[in-house]
Chains A and B, each alone.
Chain A
């Protein structure tokens, strides 16, 4: 069952919802919430004549998105206050970047943790400053601490003792052990200053990062939202001259040519995003597997296709860590270290 297709259709073609039956509305709302796309949906449908109960439910989604946006921007400001005095200008990633830069991808989007990118040689300084400012380690086992520092591209997650908010400090966008090896130095060198003390990735790099998040970094749980981010970003950036050329070059630079091509094809399939055909390449048989995974929800918002989910989970760990290391990591985790 690929019921999340209805959410994708509603987002891509808002007028299509006008023919929905009452039960279909109930299901659409449940699936949108499960995919954390209810806020985005609310903004997309805002100008349509909707049944009163639906309009009210979408008002609530917008209110929640507004609250989330306020929280996200505040966390950015507090991080800036902590890092500016020691000369670190964080590069915002993902939802916080979209919200701060008022990008279309940020409209209605619920933001989770604050993700920032800093140069690897400043990591210790950033860590010290954040700990002094009231952040604590979220995962405290010695194994988890060692695992993150040795194998991952980010510090272990930090949670603020009073605010309860989380911050993930990255030094790259994929683990050093991963197969694709993005060029962290280039990400930082070619970032854009968006305000005093705050930077974001340049447009092409922002797409490449969104693609790592969609395909290479996780088991695609919540992937539809990532793909929607990519659709929104592509539509905005494509109006810039030379954008597609830049995207092609950056994808090659970050060793992400194939994943970016796949993401473009998926966005085209699911959201009818206009994409540059030479970058997207020909459809592959495996594309259908990804489409099914991205849309795998039933009318109650429950994820379907458990076997496909497991396959993706194992695959994503394989991308992050070569097989021998993976076996050791899983063995240690299973022993409960």
Chain B
């Protein structure tokens, strides 16, 4: 088994692979990330063949680890890096119990965090990536971690998943080619390329921030925006959390505190530039 150990924010991974190439690609993608605290990785993710003979013959990659789901479809070996990322995501989604998980991106400026919840296709990752290159610090693009006691957002800056047209957009924006992973064609999510967060995001991965604004993006529509009431915000936050129920009352209290104290809105946008501009406008109005 080929292995890589790394720390991203408060989570330390041991990633295992039956093949060498996905681990090599993962190591390059996460260059500069710290090792686990005290050398102890506490979360295990791994990729391997679903059947032993699938290791080399028409190789198939299944995702597994401490936690796994029964119906995941195996992937091709050329998408091994994506599979490794998905295996890591699965451990967090199914196993995290210290922090409330929101399926969201987040960026920080002046100690305040703007949270962008959304499923795949909402464009949150691309918006966060762009904001992260224009004066904001990227905290997360997939999972936002909310401290159950303090209510602060803890950074979890994993590699950003760029899909389809967002790839070219970020390639033209970012001069350093070593920040990109390999171009992956025909993945289950279309064309995909991973982008490593910039040096500032990595260096400050242990600095939390106070959630100050929650914005729900919808990509592909004419510009429009609307407020989100506290009750709707509560509901949408719980819907977008994989561990809300498992956290019991602590999850309830943390979500309620966000719903009661953080202003929220939704907005639609036709392209990234407009999306970024709308976010900046909301922030200006909120005094951020």
Contacts A59-B98, A63-B97 given; does A26 touch B248 at CB 8 Å = no
Q: Does B158 have its Cβ within 8 Å of any Cβ on chain A?
A: no
Partner of B46, one of A22, A25, A51, A300: A300
Q: How far is the CA of A23 from the CA of B98 in the complex (A)?
A: 22
Q: Does A67 have its Cβ within 8 Å of any Cβ on chain B?
A: yes
Q: Mark A57-90, 1 if CB is under 8 A from B, else 0.
A: 1011001101100100000000000000000000
Whether the pair A51, B16 counts as a contact (CB closer than 8 A) is no
Whether the pair B246, A26 counts as a contact (CB closer than 8 A) is no
Whether the pair A33, B248 counts as a contact (CB closer than 8 A) is no
Q: A26: which B residues are within 8 A, CB to CB?
A: 14, 40-42, 44
Smallest CB separation, A220 vs chain B (Å): 20
Contacts A60-B96, A60-B97 given; does A53 touch B42 at CB 8 Å = yes
Q: Does B36 have its Cβ within 8 Å of any Cβ on chain A?
A: yes
Q: How far is the CA of A53 from the CA of B36 in the complex (A)?
A: 9
Q: A218: which B residues are within 8 A, CB to CB?
A: none
Smallest CB separation, B52 vs chain A (Å): 8
* Chain A 18-70 interface residues, beta-carbon cutoff 8 Å to B: 22-23, 25-26, 29-30, 33-34, 51-54, 56-57, 59-60, 63-64, 66-67, 70
Q: How far is the CA of A25 from the CA of B43 in the complex (A)?
A: 11
Number of A residues with CB within 8 Å of any CB on chain B: 23
Contacts A60-B98, A67-B246, A300-B44 given; does A30 touch B66 at CB 8 Å = yes
* Chain B 9-66 interface residues, beta-carbon cutoff 8 Å to A: 10, 12, 14, 16, 36-44, 46, 66
Whether the pair A70, B248 counts as a contact (CB closer than 8 A) is yes
Count A/B pairs, Cβ under 8 Å. Answer: 64
Q: How far is the CA of A23 from the CA of B246 in the complex (A)?
A: 29
Q: Does A301 have its Cβ within 8 Å of any Cβ on chain B?
A: yes
Whether the pair B246, A53 counts as a contact (CB closer than 8 A) is no
Partner of B40, one of A33, A34, A51, A64: A51
Q: How far is the CA of A204 from the CA of B81 in the complex (A)?
A: 53
Q: How far is the CA of A51 from the CA of B40 in the complex (A)?
A: 9
Q: Mark B243-261, 1 if CB is under 8 A from A, else 0.
A: 0011110000000000000
Q: Does B263 have its Cβ within 8 Å of any Cβ on chain A?
A: no
Q: Mark A233-244, 1 if CB is under 8 A from B, else 0.
A: 000000000000
Q: Does B95 have its Cβ within 8 Å of any Cβ on chain A?
A: yes
Q: Mark B92-105, 1 if CB is under 8 A from A, else 0.
A: 00011110000000
Q: Does B1 have its Cβ within 8 Å of any Cβ on chain A?
A: yes
Smallest CB separation, A29 vs chain B (Å): 6
Whether the pair A54, B97 counts as a contact (CB closer than 8 A) is no
Q: How far is the CA of A13 from the CA of B280 in the complex (A)?
A: 58
Contacts A30-B66, A67-B246 given; does A301 touch B98 at CB 8 Å = no
Whether the pair A301, B66 counts as a contact (CB closer than 8 A) is yes
Q: How far is the CA of A33 from the CA of B248 in the complex (A)?
A: 21
Q: B246: which A residues are within 8 A, CB to CB?
A: 63-64, 67
Whether the pair A63, B247 counts as a contact (CB closer than 8 A) is yes
Q: A64: which B residues are within 8 A, CB to CB?
A: 97, 246
* Chain A 124-162 interface residues, beta-carbon cutoff 8 Å to B: none
Q: B12: which A residues are within 8 A, CB to CB?
A: 53
Whether the pair B42, A57 counts as a contact (CB closer than 8 A) is yes
Q: How far is the CA of A54 from the CA of B43 in the complex (A)?
A: 10
Q: B16: which A residues are within 8 A, CB to CB?
A: 300
Whether the pair B38, A53 counts as a contact (CB closer than 8 A) is yes
Q: A29: which B residues are within 8 A, CB to CB?
A: 42, 44, 66
Residue in chain B with minimal CB distance to A60: B97
Q: A52: which B residues are within 8 A, CB to CB?
A: 37-38
Smallest CB separation, A48 vs chain B (Å): 15
Residue in chain B with minimal CB distance to A55: B42
Q: How far is the CA of A64 from the CA of B245 in the complex (A)?
A: 11
Q: B39: which A residues are within 8 A, CB to CB?
A: 22-23
Residue in chain A with minimal CB distance to B52: A306
Q: B43: which A residues are within 8 A, CB to CB?
A: 57
What are 22 residue pairs bridging A and B, where the CB atoms are less than 8 Å apart in the complex? A22-B38, A22-B40, A23-B39, A25-B40, A26-B14, A26-B42, A30-B44, A33-B44, A52-B38, A53-B12, A53-B37, A54-B40, A56-B42, A56-B98, A57-B42, A59-B97, A60-B96, A60-B97, A63-B98, A64-B97, A67-B245, A300-B1
Given contacts A34-B66, A51-B40, 15 further A-B contacts (CB under 8 A): A22-B36, A23-B39, A26-B42, A51-B38, A52-B38, A54-B40, A59-B97, A59-B98, A63-B98, A63-B247, A67-B246, A67-B247, A67-B248, A300-B1, A301-B44
3 tightest A-B contacts by CB?
Answer: A22-B39, A57-B42, A60-B97
Residues of A within 8 A of B (CB): 22-23, 25-26, 29-30, 33-34, 51-54, 56-57, 59-60, 63-64, 66-67, 70, 300-301
